[in-house]
Amino acid sequence: MNLADITAVKSILSLPQKIVIVPHKNPDGDAMGSCLALYAFLKGMGQTVHVVAPNDYPKFLKWLPGNEHVLNFERENNEALAALQEATVIFTLDFNDLSRCGQMEPILKASNADFIMIDHHQQPGDYALVAYSDVCMSSTCEMVYNFIEYLDGLDSLDKDIATNIYAGIMTDTGSFKYRSTSSRTHRVVADLIDRGADNMDIHRQVFDTNSPSRLHLLGVALSNMVILSEYCTAYITLTQEELDQYDFKKGDTEGFVNYGLTLEGIIFAVIFIENREEGIIKISFRSVGDFSVNEFAREHFNGGGHDNAAGGRSEDSMEVTIDRFTTILKNYKSKLNP
């Protein structure tokens, strides 16, 4: 954040504001952790604050401190709408474009509030008065830590805030192993532990709460995996029937896509998950090295994200989507065989 932006934010927050904090649709650990950390910090400053999530999120995030204050736009629609309509300041966290907020997009676009973006995705949109955007950052949570530091607020970074920030950094960095994990990330995490974040407990709450049906679904996903050695690619499909058979709950497929990358020689992994209710196939792309899945997702599947982790969607059937994917792949043969 540059000095002008810091000064602008300090000046905005020196007055009492009605603040709403918004994560992207289908919020993940980084989105919820950053929103709840910022929520607690701004509440501590005496501000009026709401977190409004566009839709529901997995159970393994519902223990995060402050979770009980989150308004779900789909479930608590009236309260959420009222908060958004009254907002004088809207923070948008962990996404780069208002289209990532699903049904909340038109409401956000019509708002007269001052927008403050904190985000690490590529191609940031230009809707914000203040945009703290840095694609080199490990996570939005690491940026919220920096944001608090810029506002000279580290003294109020307590255990609850530290826990939320730790959870978001941990989930977005694949437990501190992705390329964007810097020595600074580790210094921040060390400070969070000093401030009370219980690292072992956070790992257990997020990763060790499997249900038997989720593990069985993982078994199905792994046996559905197709390996295209010629393209150094592995992909997984999960149909709605398979999800239903194993009692699918939001978040159950989190991390499945990464298994493809654990195969020797595979640098591109994809999972296609049918969502009959929305009439789409939701796609997650992952890569190692220089193959940009952000570009791939943007170009062919109406999505985006980061160089090594992106998402997208298809409105075709699973069969047609896979056909299209394998056809497109042929144009990437040289990029996938560096």
Task: With H, G, I as helix, E, B as strand and everything else as coil, classify residue 302.
Answer: coil
User: Should residue 300 be labelled a site residue for ligand 5GP when binding is judged by CB under 6 A?
Assistant: no
User: Should residue 142 be labelled a site residue for Mn ion when binding is judged by CB under 5 A?
Assistant: no
Give the x/- contact pattern for Mn ion in 14-53, rule: CB under 5 A.
----------------x-----------------------
| Measured distance CA(102)–CA(129) in Å, rounded | 21
Judge whether 301 and 328 are in contact, CB under 8 Å: no
- Name residue 313's beta-bridge partners: 282
DSSP 175: T
The entry of Mn ion, ligand 5GP, none near residue 303 (CB within 5 to 8 angstroms by kind) is: ligand 5GP
User: Should residue 56 be labelled a site residue for Mn ion when binding is judged by CB under 5 A?
Assistant: no
Question: Six-digit token pair at 224?
Answer: 């559905």
**Nearest residue by C-beta to ligand 5GP?**
311
Residues 6 or more apart whose Cβ sits within 8 Å of residue 238: 217, 220, 221, 224, 253, 256, 271, 272, 273, 274
Smallest gap from residue 153 Cβ to ligand 5GP (A) = 26
User: Should residue 65 be labelled a site residue for ligand 5GP when binding is judged by CB under 6 A?
Assistant: no
The entry of ligand 5GP, Mn ion, none near residue 310 (CB within 5 to 8 angstroms by kind) is: ligand 5GP
Judge whether 154 and 123 are in contact, CB under 8 Å: no
Site for Mn ion in 89-118 (CB under 5 A): 94
Smallest gap from residue 10 Cβ to ligand 5GP (A) = 29
Judge whether 294 and 180 are in contact, CB under 8 Å: no
Q: Which is nearer to ligand 5GP, 83 or 125 (CB)?
A: 125
Judge whether 336 and 232 are in contact, CB under 8 Å: yes
State which of residues 117, 303, 322, 325 lies at the interface with ligand 5GP (CB under 6 A).
Answer: 303
- Name residue 238's beta-bridge partners: 273
Q: CA triplet 275, 21, 15: central angle to 5 degrees?
A: 170
| Lookup result for tokens 């204050």 | 69
Give the x/- contact pattern for ligand 5GP in 13-52, rule: CB under 6 A.
-----------x----------------------------
Site for ligand 5GP in 226-285 (CB under 6 A): 284
Smallest gap from residue 174 Cβ to ligand 5GP (A) = 11
| Measured distance CA(239)–CA(224) in Å, rounded | 10
**Residues forming the site for Mn ion (CB under 5 A):** 30, 94, 140, 172
Chain residues in the site for ligand 5GP (CB under 6 A): 24, 284, 303-306, 309-313
